[in-house]
Structure 1
């Protein structure tokens, strides 16, 4: 049995919940289906606003689905549960806490803030290049460093599932590339399953074992691509024919590149 099963997931936001200007219900997801294995890295790629974040929140149990089935680690998701980490677009660090205390916050909530937790926090800070910044406040860190703290916080309780909602979108290109490699290193060490939302085709292909290309809203899985690159990767992979082939397949599924090399559609956010 697959570690994660999303089957015919549908989410409808009633017009009454969408504000005064809404005249009809909004179908965010419609018949979204896929599976993922334990330890698998899955990129969710699609146009802006197509429902990828909604799906991620449903998998986390943060919002209910309208219909369909969502099963993680053999149990149906009916609400928030403890065995996942969530990394949002913004780091969301508490400005009055230092780096170490921000990382340890989930352990305080779980009443597990003991010596083992502190040792784990220092280990994660070492892996992410933040050793020596334990006492720093968030405003003293760069954007990339803040997102590293957020990643450490999501991993502190050693979850089996890591949910990431376009976490590197606000970073400059060089920092984003560094974070991609760091994430792969951490994933290989923890063997956590990862669902990773991104608008970057290159990022989706570089990181993932499986790329799911979503249609415009209401989101459905338009294409599933197994990358076949293996867990150990380096930046040279981006310049290989195999990488370019998968990028093109994803681009065509998004409607950006046609068989006749048509100009990219301005309506699609990549």
Structure 2
């Protein structure tokens, strides 16, 4: 499949030479040396593009995600989103963390609407949108339920709706399905692709799973161990719409092989491959 996200004169998002250094005096615990968590990360992404950030634990993927969100200051380089320099938190993104972090005293609907409470936009239109999102993720009948009445996968669906309620153009996801069982995780993968199609949002998705990174993404960024660098950018040539059957195709196997080579898990093939 030809990649429909062609490089434009001004991409929707651009990370150039991004660095993050945690100073010894800020780290505490008797640290005597500065810690270079991220070193010279550079990539662009287009509007509507899905980008997986793949690499070992502790290599700086979450740090980069937080820098893109403006939740953590960078030590160097530049980060631009939608034509604006990211120098602090801004409103046009949704963030889905590893844990759902739902408020136990609020109903499912009230949890989804929480960002609109903060923005003082919890009106009829917002409530209608919340119900639409809950229907999209299969939770229309659980709007009045409390989080403790839901499974882990259902709670993560609520968290996803909460991140989307204000119609952000960018969705940042920090390994949101890592704690789910395999079957639920596969279901959430398909749900996420459907939501991306429905909303048109760009997605930056952190994962440790090679299969998940390839299945979801238009592009996979492979990170080295700390101090993290992007050692490979792989274009995933798998047609949409995707289904689980694609995991058994030669194209999927090749993409996983290339990602595994970039991670140093397997030795490169003699013939190499087209990235």
Instruction: Give unmatched runs, 5+ long, in structure 1.
Output: 262-270
Give 2:23's match in structure 1, choosing from 14, 19, 30: 14
Give 1:206's match in structure 2, choosing from 208, 215, 221: 215
Q: Partners of 1:253 and 1:166 in 2: how far apart?
A: 20
Q: Is the 8 A contact 2:51 2:221 kept in 1?
A: yes
Does residue 114 of the first structure (1) align with residue 114 of the second (2)? no
1:170/1:150 Cα in 2 relative to 1: closer, same or farther (>3 Å)? Answer: same
Structure 1 position 258, deviation (Å): 1.3
Aligned length: 261
Q: What is residue 161 of structure 2 aligned with on the other side? A: 152
What is the RMSD computed on CA atoms of the aligned residues? 1.0
**TM-score for the superposition, normalised by structure 1:** 0.95
Per mean C-alpha deviation after superposition, the further-off stretch among 117-126 and 21-30 is 21-30
**TM-score for the superposition, normalised by structure 2:** 0.93
Structure 1 position 260, deviation (Å): 7.4
Q: What is residue 84 of structure 2 aligned with on the other side? A: 75
Does residue 128 of the first structure (1) align with residue 148 of the second (2)? no
SS in 1 for 2:33: coil
Q: What is residue 6 of structure 2 aligned with on the other side? A: none
SS in 2 for 1:132: helix
Structure 1 position 219, deviation (Å): 1.2
Q: What is residue 264 of structure 1 aligned with on the other side? A: none
Give 1:47's match in structure 2, choosing from 43, 48, 56: 56
Q: What is residue 195 of structure 1 aligned with on the other side? A: 204
Give 1:169's match in structure 2, choosing from 178, 181, 195: 178
Structure 1 position 259, deviation (Å): 3.7
